[in-house]
Chains A and B, each alone.
Chain A
């Protein structure tokens, strides 16, 4: 599946979104950036909720909108699903009624899981006959996702769908999202400003700032670029480790924060930490009087560790020298 955005410009009041990219939307593509960077506007433009001022959008060979040629396929004919951040369940219907709404409007030719099946997978079978106003935030998120899946779109857009979920539930939900994308061969474009979610979900990443796309490509590549690091808070700086390296198959990767990585100049022994990766020091960046960022190239990929200038001197860390990165399992 290819989603082409050609010189797209969308204007909302003082905000301007500009995008020009060709997304090979397979699996899960994450749109990452700080709030106000235009992530949600990008989804709204793709779904046809915002009108293009300039440019065109095409899904595979089908032109959805072309501002120059005055072509505009309305939202309901695009076959693109959208899960809103605030769920937007229909208040006059029950949970089942919300799912049926999607099922009744699905083209006969498109296969999708039946309502009961998806309710079971998302663990809300017992809520089916409830009015939606009695649901908790997390329940709403799950019903909204189920409703979108039942509608069997060609492409599913999700706008911060985990905002109402916490901890354990959140990670289960992320894993399930990847599973569903796989099983249903349903490409997903997921907006998030949470770096952990981004690393866990993404096959590919679209990085955004100030209404512009600053990087697009495979997660492993984009998330290791300096431009990507510029989108992060100081305490979120770190590196993406592929899931295989930490034996967490259900997700795509894990974000390892520089603050949670210990550095050792000799192979550590008799230590409780579950992950010890051998590598070579790639670069040393002095941030300020309190911190130094040391990047290692290890067997698990590129790892970032923040240590104090004092530790740097004690360990005699130098570029090209051998070192070990140590991470507690609970930090992942």
Chain B
């Protein structure tokens, strides 16, 4: 059905967007879980540093995030050069680069959702698990994650929906390469800057809006399910 409604160009842009946002979620999810878990712990030294790092992308201009990524991972940087020579991986101006930029920008959203989910679990349950001989790692896998996972999923979906719309960091770090890094917002921007392509921009905007709303509704449904699960 989607295929019939969209032009090949639009399909290409949508699939680039989905691919970039999907990979972004994949890259940031394990790190976000680790950060969220740490932040849901009681006070420990370095907690405020972790908290700051987790929230930084929220307050930095997206262009600056893209620029910092260029400085850190671009072909001219030591790390970027090493990645290129050792593994043949180039991040700047590629879909992977776009995904990393998107991952960084969506990171705070994800950490927040997952952290809330971790914090909503009753600490008494972990005591109950430990008197049944479950050690800390065991409790993480058998209690923390399963209890929080609808929240984790909701965080991932929110981050995915937000990732579909990431503009500043992506265009700075990955540039606007058709079929590679040209996601929905980049394509809308390109269309708006090209005379006579207003209708293209409008259709892309509708697609973008639909995708975003679908993501949000899905995330809300997951959150509600998560709450119900923990109310036992």
Contact = CB atoms under 8 A, between A and B. Distances in A.
Contacts of A151: 131-133
Given A49-B127, A86-B124, A91 B147 contact: yes
Contact of A105 (B122, B134, B229, B230): B134
A91 B232 contact: yes
A14 B175 CA distance: 61
B146 interface: yes
Nearest to A157: B131
A159 B145 CA distance: 28
A70 interface: no
Contacts of B128: 82, 84, 88-90
B231 interface: yes
A131 B132 contact: no
Contacts of A88: 122, 124-125, 127-128
B225 to A, nearest CB: 12
B131 A82 contact: yes
Given A84-B124, A92-B146, A132 B232 contact: yes
A132 B142 CA distance: 16
A242 interface: no
Given A84-B124, A86-B124, A74 B232 contact: no
Contacts of B232: 89, 91, 131-133
Contacts of B143: 90
A82 B229 CA distance: 24
A76 interface: yes
Given A131-B232, A132-B232, A90 B131 contact: no
B139 to A, nearest CB: 8
Interface string B103-143: 00000000000000000001011011111111100100011
A77 B146 CA distance: 23
Nearest to A102: B132
A92 B230 CA distance: 8
A92 B134 contact: no
B132 A74 contact: no
A209 to B, nearest CB: 26
Interface size class of A (residues with CB under 8 A): 20 to 34
Contact of B130 (A75, A102, A107): A75
Contacts of A89: 128, 232
A75 B133 CA distance: 7
Contacts of B230: 91
Contacts of A76: 130-135, 138
Interface in A68-87: 74-77, 79-82, 84, 86
Given A76-B135, A105-B138, A131-B232, A90 B129 contact: yes
A74 B134 CA distance: 10
Given A88-B125, A133-B232, A106 B147 contact: no
A101 B132 contact: yes
B27 to A, nearest CB: 27
Contacts of A84: 124, 127-128
Contacts of B135: 74, 76-77
Interface string A129-144: 0011100000000000
Contacts of A49: 127, 130-131
Contact of A133 (B122, B134, B231): B231
Contacts of A47: 131
A49 B134 CA distance: 13
A147 interface: yes
Contacts of A148: 131-132
A303 to B, nearest CB: 40
A91 B138 CA distance: 17
A82 B134 CA distance: 13
Given A91-B229, A131-B232, 9 more contacts: A49-B127, A74-B130, A82-B131, A84-B128, A105-B134, A106-B133, A132-B232, A133-B231, A151-B133
